[in-house]
Amino acid sequence: MQIPYYVDLLGTLVFAISGALAAFGKKLYQDIFGVSFTAFITAIGGGTLRDIILGVHPLSWIADGNYIIAIIAGVLLTVFFKQYIKRIPRTLFLLDTLGVAIYTILGVQKSLSHEVNPIAAVILGMVSAVFGGVLRDTLINEIPLIFKKEIYATACLAGAFLFVILNHYGVQADINFFAGVGLIILIRVISVKYKIALPKLED
């Protein structure tokens, strides 16, 4: 299944908002450069790392100015409507979850079409979805979300794994896509709702 182009742009916008909001939380970054830079890094980080690892050029935001326009839109929305956006944390959580889920499966699809072995494709799918957030958190000096309590990257790995398995058995691409995305959303929602974390390994 081909993800519609505007879904990809919407994902970029959502990631930009998450980066801009994070920057607003830190005094140091509360000018238009700090907020824009953090938004930019968050939005393009994962796909950029994935494409550099795959050796795919040009990167999408390099070839197509619409990605940067989506990021600028995300920054402006955050600057002007911050208080409204913050009032809808659940909406933001769902958007982030949807974005991460779609980017994971997109990343797996793209990896499989570039000489990538299936296990590496699962890892690259996860990386392309979460690395922007890792850069965002590192930049504002927070512990990356992927290492925090709730199940985050592991949900992406599970969805990516399901996609690779179904793909291997020749399941139709559309079903496969929704199965992968759905599993990620399901795990993420359940783990947040019931505060489920991965078990600690005994020391």
Stretch 52-81: interaction string toward a second copy, x if CB under 8 A: xxxx-xxx-xxxxx--xx---------x--
Q: Of the two residues 67 and 177, which places its CB atom closer to a second copy in the complex?
A: 67
CA dist 181 and 158 (Å) reads 10
Cβ atoms 154, 183 nearer than 8 A: no
Least Cβ distance, residue 115 to a second copy (angstroms): 5
Member of 1, 5, 30, 87 binding a second copy (CB under 8 A)? 30
Which of 146, 160, 181, 184 touches a second copy by CB under 8 A?
146
* Token pair listed for 171: 């399941």
Q: Smallest distance from the beta carbon of 194 to a second copy, in angstroms?
A: 16
Q: Please tell me the distance from the alpha carbon of residue 190 to that of residue 183, in angstroms, as a whole number.
A: 11
Q: Residue 53 burial (CB < 10 Å; 0-12/13-18/19+)?
A: middle
**Residue 103 within binding range of a second copy, rule CB under 8 A:** no
Site membership for a second copy, residue 17 (CB under 8 A): no
Distances (CA, A) of 92 to 149, 169, 178, 186: 19, 35, 21, 16
Determine how many CB atoms are found less than 10 A away from the CB of residue 42.
Answer: 30
Task: Give the footprint of a second copy on residues 105-134 (CB under 8 A).
Answer: 114-120, 123-124
Q: Which of 9, 12, 14, 40 binds a second copy (CB under 8 A)?
A: 40
Please tell me the distance from the alpha carbon of residue 139 to that of residue 125, in angstroms, as a whole number: 22
List residues binding a second copy (CB under 8 A): 24, 28-35, 37, 40, 48, 52-55, 57-59, 61-65, 68-69, 79, 114-120, 123-124, 143, 146-147, 153-154, 157, 197-201, 203
